[in-house]
Amino acid sequence: MSNITPQSGILDITLYQGGAAHVPGVENAVKLSSNENPFGPSDAAKEAFRNASYNLHRYPSSDHADLRHAIAEMHGLDPARILCGNGSDEIIAFLCQAYAGPGDEVIHTEHGFGMYRISALANGATPVEVPERERVTDVDAILNACTPATRLVFIANPNNPTGTMVGEGEVARLAANLPDHVLLVLDGAYAEYVEGYDGGAALVEARQNVVMTRTFSKLYGLGGLRIGWGYGPAHVMNVLARVRGPFNLSSAALAAAEAAIRDTEWAEKCREGNTRWRGWLAEALAEHGVPSDTSLANFILARFANQAEAEACDDHLKSQGLIVRRVAGYNLPNCLRITVGDEASCRRVAHAVGQFMATAR
């Protein structure tokens, strides 16, 4: 019998379950389970990716300078304090690796992104789940949960899978009232879908205890390339740079991301399309007796009477070739998360949910 054992906390990790992509026996199913951009990446990003193929025998940039400067230029940030990662998930992992370990606590909300808990456990830290208020981040609950052992607080704004958002004033109040030894991490994976929202950049600039993370996987349509970035105080980003591998992003990913962030016309087209069909889908579902909170992301959290009804509706959608996401693992067993697709996908989902609800109650 082997005495080889993993580090404490790792066996407590429940394997992350991504959104399903296939339905047995159904061809050409519509995937609305992973919050992907239905319009895909811009032509400029695709062209940059193709051009990168001519230099695949060369190692990529180790400092990501071109991409960091492009991000800085487009968002008005300091490129020296930007760190790029293999999706924003890797930035989250770096933060836990650098700032949380055995005996430390990492706070996340009850319906928060699953990688916060996973990354905490992977580094031997204790994840602490705090309640939300009607599926919205509760600042007072977070502050009350802080202890001398707390090291990190993660909140997604807008949140996944709820789609809700806590106001910038409340986030600033949270940052101002955290203990001096606690770092606040603002996960802005869906920030680009909120008109005029900076993802927390101004708060990062104003304070020494706030970091924000962003991704190219959502609005920019580059989920398959895994590109994310973080922005924070110099003292934090210097630490994260020490744990980042030198070649954690491919040259193709770097080139595509730079082209994507500069193509503001395509990004605005995708944002406008999402806003239009998100509103339409929410209203259509409500008319069928399926409510949802106002979403500020690229998905809707549809609420049903109970878990059985939610799962039965999911089964019906699958039978129609429509794949959405069950979110019982996020403490929302009576809900289904539905990505906002293109017009045809939204109309199909609304019609199928209407069919189901006509016979369910």
Q: pLDDT tens digits, residue range 25-70?
A: 677 789 999 999 999 999 999 999 999 999 999 999 999 999 999 9
pLDDT band at 271 (very low <50, low <70, confident <90, very high): very high
Q: What gap in Å lies between CA 198 and CA 212, rounded to an integer? A: 10
Q: Can you read off the two tokens belonging to residue 317?
A: 């959608």
Q: pLDDT tens digits, residue range 207-216?
A: 999 999 999 9
Q: What gap in Å lies between CA 275 and CA 304, rounded to an integer? A: 23
Least Cα distance to 194 among 163, 215, 155 occurs for 163
> Structure pTM?
0.94
Number of H helices, E strands in the chain: 12, 12
Taking all residues of the chain, what is their mean pLDDT, rounded to a whole number?
Answer: 96
Say if residue 140's pLDDT is above 90. Answer: yes
Task: Calculate what percentage of the chain has a pLDDT beyond 70.
Answer: 99
Say if residue 277's pLDDT is above 70. Answer: yes
Task: Calculate what percentage of the chain has a pLDDT beyond 90.
Answer: 91
pLDDT computed for residue 1 by the predictor: 63
pLDDT band at 227 (very low <50, low <70, confident <90, very high): very high
The residue length of the chain stands at 361
Checking DSSP bridges between strand 228-231 and strand 105-109, what pairing results, if any?
A: unpaired
CA torsion 303→305→310→312, rounded to 10°? -150
pLDDT computed for residue 160 by the predictor: 97
pLDDT computed for residue 18 by the predictor: 75
Give yes or no for a contact between 138 and 109, defined as CB atoms under 8 angstroms apart.
Answer: yes
Distant-in-sequence, close-in-space partners of 337: CB < 8 Å, separation ≥ 6? 33, 35, 161, 299, 300, 301, 302, 324, 325, 327
pLDDT computed for residue 360 by the predictor: 78
The SS3 call for residue 289 is: coil
The string of DSSP codes covering 43-81 is HHHHHHHHHHGGGTTSPPPSS-HHHHHHHHHHHT--GGG
The string of DSSP codes covering 320-344 is TTEE-EE-GGGT-TTEEEEE---HH
Q: What gap in Å lies between CA 24 and CA 164, rounded to an integer? A: 33
